[in-house]
Amino acid sequence: MGRMRVLTVNPGSGSLRLHVVEGDEVVDSAEIGRPPAEAADDVKAFVAGLAVAAVAHRLVHGGAELTEPTVVDGRVRAAIAAAKSLAPEHVPNTEALLEQLSELLPDVPHVVCPDTAFHCGLPEIARTYPLPARWRARWDLRRFGFHGLSFAWAVRRAAEVLDRPSGELNLLVAHLSGGCSVAAVAGRRSVDTSMGFTPLEGTMMAKRSGTVDPGMLLWLLREGHLDVAELEDGLYHHSGLLGLSGTSDDTRDLVRDSRAGDVKARFAMAVFEHRTRRELAAVAASLDRIDALVFTGDIGWDQPEVAEAVAGGLGVLGLRGGLSRNRERDAVISPPGARVPVLAVQSREELSLAAAAVSVL
């Protein structure tokens, strides 16, 4: 990547990460531990006097219109507004930050980098839902996939660690963090992934349910047990690790509590690990071989107990446990001689964001 200095903006549902990136180096950063809607003063303070050549905004859902990093104009703003209902926990934050930073930094290009872009070439059989054709045509119902910036970085680093061309690698990648998804990647191309039309599908997450039986949800609505707002709130904010443990959505807490004898914490972790294994096995069916399994995201990188349980339970795919707990650098963590190497790669979405912005400027 060139030496252009780029401000990267990475809003979560409850936090905001700002980085100033030059080349592959972070020269300044701020992590704001409050919802982006409450962070306007922090953002203003961070960019005061800041000299950058561009601003790169992470956009969780690009919808049908935004399929690659794109310089912001009126069309892009309209597409972002249209995508808000697809990822209501995330896209409104991006829209608000884009407006604020466009006012604070009006003389530099702003680039939106959709997390969905990495998956825009999904094979038709992998992106298609078995729904009525008229529904799919009218509302563009299909699988988009997410966490693309993280996946792109993990693929790049895996190739460097393995000293193999990324275009020759077939990888399983697990992004495990507050939101979780897995992907099968063949030669830098996503060929299957666990998330779909929204970031709610797929494996169990910190507070999100992941995939559950839609018939059960219809029953809850039809019988009047829940209304739509209650159902949405429960699926997005009160399920997953938090829903099963009843105490925390943080794997660090749950691993500690499990060791102390907390049965619910241990059960929540066991279901999380099982669901992750299940989704990895599912997307593995889209590859003709597995050259490596890559763990990334906050949990994938920094929770060795999870990586051990997931890899150790996938013997059917040629994987095994006995992983190293060392996380000093991106590395192979599987034992010497393992049939399928296992890697841990620190997620660096800020570097992916900066590189994506530079690529279109």
Same domain, 46 and 184: no
14-29: per-residue pLDDT in tens? 789 999 999 889 999 9
Could you tell me which residues come within 8 angstroms of residue 182 by beta carbon, excluding any fewer than 6 positions away? 172, 173, 174, 175, 193, 194, 202, 203, 276, 279, 280, 283
Q: How far apart are CA 330 and CA 90, in angstroms?
A: 28
Predicted local distance difference test score (pLDDT) of residue 298: 94
Is 0.75 surpassed by the pTM of this model? yes
| Domain assignment present for 138 | no
313-343: per-residue pLDDT in tens? 999 999 999 999 988 899 999 999 999 999 9
Pick the catalytic residue from 115, 192, 257, 262: 115
Same domain, 226 and 313: yes
pLDDT band at 281 (very low <50, low <70, confident <90, very high): very high
Domain housing 102? 5-114
- 177-194 mean pLDDT: 97
Same domain, 339 and 208: yes
Q: How many domains does the chain have?
A: 2
Same domain, 104 and 245: no
Same domain, 107 and 226: no
Q: How far apart are CA 73 and CA 255, in angstroms?
A: 46
Same domain, 195 and 322: yes
CATH number of the domain residue 93 falls in: 3.30.420.40
pLDDT band at 305 (very low <50, low <70, confident <90, very high): very high
127-154: per-residue pLDDT in tens? 999 999 999 999 999 999 999 999 999 9
Catalytic site includes residue 330: no
